[in-house]
């Protein structure tokens, strides 16, 4: 998924700019430097394309072509990467990019917005649009993810969504309907899934981050995440999942995520009944072996990041349970 060098170069420490998430000690900022990254087009069906990062860690994107025009999923981290998306569209069709969907507020999904034509309507959940206004904070977050390389973000300009949604909408691209679904809180409180029903393809943003991973519960605990994933599995007939990061996958990853969220919930509830503090839970509950990547897997270099995600997930779930059952 990522090279050992990328992970080794990433600072394995708590950083003040991530404090608004309440990141615990041991959380590792995912390595998202776009240097050398190529977005490889993969046609999933007629007019339906995934754009897959050649590193595995850096963001995936995609686009859907209708008779009237194109809908693009996420804008990437800067103008250079956004231009790759635009170029990929133009290699397939001369039709205009009518819509750009931000699946969450993180800068690696939104900073490239400004590169798209002014005639392109940018769409996001209302919560995403609100969070995007904290632009300088978002740049500090992304600076950590790109190893402090300010040149990566030097071109970035804030472009907020033109349209916000609260739940779900259908967009007619001409002969092709695309569904934008907010199914509940997940990685963020404004996660949006883009679903193309004819091909049964879903772009999940950071709600699902690839085959062989675990969720990143940055703003919600396991119960909320579990409910959202259950909604996704029960309401959308998904065959192919293009995750926000990582390898393309299918419904088996939803099953894996639901199992993990269930185990996490049970573990935290048992610990709280036993009077364990959050610090004790973090100390006593490493990522279970069944969720660790095999040593010979391309994901193995990503293991420290997944372990850090698990610590964040424990913390958010403990806090969520404490709020539900003081």
Structure tokens, 42:
């993969």
Give me the pLDDT at residue 125, please: 98
> Do 10 and 29 meet the contact criterion of CB atoms below 8 Å apart?
yes
Closest CA to 89 of 109, 75, 102, 110: 75
pLDDT digits (tens, 9 = 90+) for 59-105: 999 999 999 999 999 999 999 999 999 999 999 999 999 999 999 99
Query: Which helix (H) or strand (E) covers residue 72, if one does?
Result: strand 70-73
Angle, to 10 degrees, between the axis of helix 222-235 and the axis of helix 303-324? 100
pLDDT digits (tens, 9 = 90+) for 153-208: 999 999 999 999 999 999 999 999 999 999 999 999 999 999 999 999 999 999 99
SS3 208: coil
CA dist 258 and 242 (Å) reads 18
Closest CA to 74 of 113, 38, 42: 113
Query: Which helix (H) or strand (E) covers residue 124, if one does?
Result: strand 121-125
Domains in the chain, ordered, with CATH? 4-324 (3.60.15.10)
Given a cut of 70, whether residue 4 has pLDDT beyond it is no
Give me the pLDDT at residue 326, please: 74
> Do 106 and 135 meet the contact criterion of CB atoms below 8 Å apart?
no
Q: How confident is the model at residue 5 (pLDDT cuts 50, 70, 90)?
A: very low
**Spatial CB neighbours of 210, under 8 Å, sequence gap ≥ 6:** 1, 56, 243, 245, 246, 247, 248, 249, 253
């Amino acid at each position: 998924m990522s090279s050992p060098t990328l992970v080794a170069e990433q600072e394995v420490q708590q950083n003040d700019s991530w404090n608004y998430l309440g990141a615990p000690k041991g959380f590792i900022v995912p390595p998202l430097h776009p240097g050398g990254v190529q977005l490889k087009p993969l046609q999933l069906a007629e007019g339906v394309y995934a754009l897959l990062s050649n590193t595995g860690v850096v963001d995936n994107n995609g686009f859907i072509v209708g008779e009237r025009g194109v809908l693009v999923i996420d804008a990437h981290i800067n103008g250079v990467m956004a231009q790759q998306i635009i170029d990929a569209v133009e290699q397939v069709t001369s039709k205009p990019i009518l819509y750009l969907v931000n699946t969450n507020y993180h800068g690696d999904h939104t900073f490239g917005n400004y590169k798209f034509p002014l005639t392109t309507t940018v769409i996001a959940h209302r919560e995403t649009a609100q969070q995007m206004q904290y632009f300088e904070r978002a740049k500090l977050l992304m600076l950590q993810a790109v190893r402090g390389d300010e040149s990566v973000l030097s071109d970035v300009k804030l472009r907020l969504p033109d349209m916000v949604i609260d739940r779900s909408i259908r967009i007619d691209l001409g002969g092709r309907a695309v569904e934008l679904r907010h199914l509940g809180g997940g990685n963020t409180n404004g996660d949006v899934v883009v679903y193309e029903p004819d091909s049964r393809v879903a772009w999940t943003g950071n709600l699902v981050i690839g085959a062989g991973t675990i969720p990143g519960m940055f703003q919600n605990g396991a119960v909320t995440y579990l409910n959202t994933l259950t909604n996704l599995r029960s309401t959308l007939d998904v065959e192919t999942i293009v995750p926000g990061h990582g390898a393309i996958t299918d419904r088996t990853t939803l099953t894996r995520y639901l199992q993990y969220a269930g185990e996490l919930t049970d573990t935290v509830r048992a610990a709280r009944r036993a009077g364990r503090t959050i610090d004790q839970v973090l100390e006593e509950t490493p990522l279970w072996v069944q969720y660790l990547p095999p040593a010979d897997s391309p994901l193995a270099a990503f293991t420290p990041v997944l372990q850090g995600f698990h610590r964040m997930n424990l913390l958010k779930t403990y806090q969520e349970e404490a709020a539900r059952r003081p």
